[in-house]
Amino acid sequence: MPNPLTEEKKDSRIRVSLRLAGAIGKATLTRWRKRPGEAFKKGEALYDIENEKSMVEVEAPCDGIMIEPLVAEGDDVEVGQFVCIIDQA
């Protein structure tokens, strides 16, 4: 299971970037599981990604609220690219 990397804390808001195991450099964000304003718990799926080898649910790094997705469903995402802003509970 990939671990999202959290960076750039500002107050309780953090930006979440994509982190994948192995040598894969990018994946497609196929589905947002949380919408702006929705609360979630640590470990709940935030979004799904897919590459040529697999499809994976990416889990929330902490309890929080989805503030803003930064990429659209169907977009290719590079490892390290910020994909959303969340408010950490």
pLDDT of residue 17: 76
pLDDT-derived band at 9 (thresholds 50, 70, 90) equals low
d(CA 67, CA 88): 10
The amino acid at 76: D
Q: What is the DSSP annotation of 17-67?
A: E---STT--EEEEEEESS-TT-EE-TTSEEEEEE-SS-EEEEEPSSSEEEE
Domain locations in the chain? 5-88
Fold for the domain defined by 5-88: OB fold (Dihydrolipoamide Acetyltransferase, E2P) (2.40.50)
Compute the distance between CA of residue 61 and CA of residue 42 in angstroms, rounded to an integer.
Answer: 6
Specify the pLDDT at position 32. Answer: 97
| Percentage of the chain lying above the pLDDT 70 cut | 81
Provide the whole-model pTM.
Answer: 0.79
pLDDT in tens, 39-87: 999 999 999 999 888 888 989 989 999 999 999 999 999 888 889 999 9
